[in-house]
Amino acid sequence: MFRLKAFAAAAMSLTAIGFAAPSFASGSVNVYSYRQPELIAPLLEAFEDETGIETNVLFLDKGLVERVKAEGANSPADVILTVDIGRLTEAKEADVTQSVTSEIINADIPEEYRDPEGDWFALTKRGRVVYASKDRIGDIPITYEELADEKWKGAICIRDGQHAYNIALFASMIAHHGAEYTEEWLTGLKNNLATRPNGNDRSQAKAIMSGECDLALGNTYYVGLMMTNEKEPEQQQWADAITVLFPNADGRGTHVNVSGMAMAKNAPNRESALKLMEFLASPEAQEIYAEQVFEYPVMPGAEASDIVKSFGEIHPDSLSLAEIASYRKQASELVDKVGFNDGP
């Protein structure tokens, strides 16, 4: 079974030139992951069963790119797993990835979901949707734009405005409407918040159940994870309290982001790393993503799970993810400019 090496963020010193890399077994694949361990466990276990290649995982909730860069030529990282198009492009721009050419990967992953130079590949899609109170709001049409309408004053919950998931959405608003509109929209959204941004996507559903708010922004796959969480049945109650609304379904479509992979620049186990990457792009892995992680596969023809289908049909925004990523810095600056994280 794959091995997880967890380190507290406080213990990670990235300033020292002689940063000591963790010790990993040789002849295996060393994965540096922004993705939570429970989300990638089914995939890595299936890969190990199929190939006999051991996977070692270092999970970081922040600072992954900085860590690989600090480790330099001696980095043990083989494969980088991350979420958000911004983090994929950030890894490439930081020069911690290398180009990969694989007919297998290119056959499974459509061109629009991979870097033109082969430095990163998307693996799954997820919608940034609206969670709505099943009892108080119900299944209604909604748009991102109307979340700034005064009719929702005091009704909306959201996690940190600077979180990658929200920055990508805000960047898409700039791409569609421009910075001036988006600044005004962010101000309106801030004024409609029930409380200061806090928690994660799951806790937004909890806040809706408790009556703290009626609407929240969250990713689709968290709903599936909550619905099937037998270890923490209270999360099933959170999921049962909400309805998934797909914003702009009748217009430009719902904002969709991705998770993805890249080969580390100095991968010491390149051959095994490539095998893992080809597996993660395969139909088998896409099925695992769909059935166990509740994300939308990027492979053409691959279906979402029945649970995800129960949310309703998603109509993704066709806006280029690369274009969205180009507005991330500006979106982050606007979040600070309007004092979004100060709350209403």
Q: What are phi and psi of 218, to 5 degrees?
A: -160, 165
pLDDT in tens, 22-38: 444 446 999 999 988 88
The Cα 78–Cα 31 span in angstroms is: 6
The pLDDT value given to residue 2: 53
State the span(s) of the chain assigned CATH 3.40.190.10.
3-124+257-302, 126-255+311-342
Annotation-wise, does 221 bind a ligand? yes
- Mean pLDDT, residues 39-65: 93
pLDDT in tens, 70-84: 999 999 999 999 988
Distance of CA 159 to the CA centre of its chain: 14
pLDDT in tens, 148-160: 999 999 999 999 9
Query: Of 237 and 20, which is predicted with more confidence?
Result: 237
The Cα 287–Cα 269 span in angstroms is: 26
Q: Is CATH 3.40.190.10 the classification given to domain 126-255+311-342?
A: yes
Find, among 30, 11, 31, 29, the residue nearest to 20 by Cα: 11
Q: Which residues contact 85 (CB under 8 A, 6 or more apart)?
A: 122, 168, 257, 258, 260, 321, 322, 324, 325
The pLDDT value given to residue 19: 33
Map 265-331 to HEC letters. Answer: CCCCCHHHHHHHHHHHCCHHHHHHHHHHHCCEECCCCCCCCHHHHCCCCCCECCCCHHHHHCCHHHH
Read off the pTM: 0.84
Annotation-wise, does 222 bind a ligand? yes
Distances (CA, A) of 188 to 214, 275, 338: 16, 48, 10
Q: Which residues contact 163 (CB under 8 A, 6 or more apart)?
A: none
Class of domain 3-124+257-302: alpha beta
Q: Taking 50 as the threshold, does the pLDDT of residue 55 lie above it?
A: yes
Maximum separation of any 2 CA atoms in the chain, in Å: 59
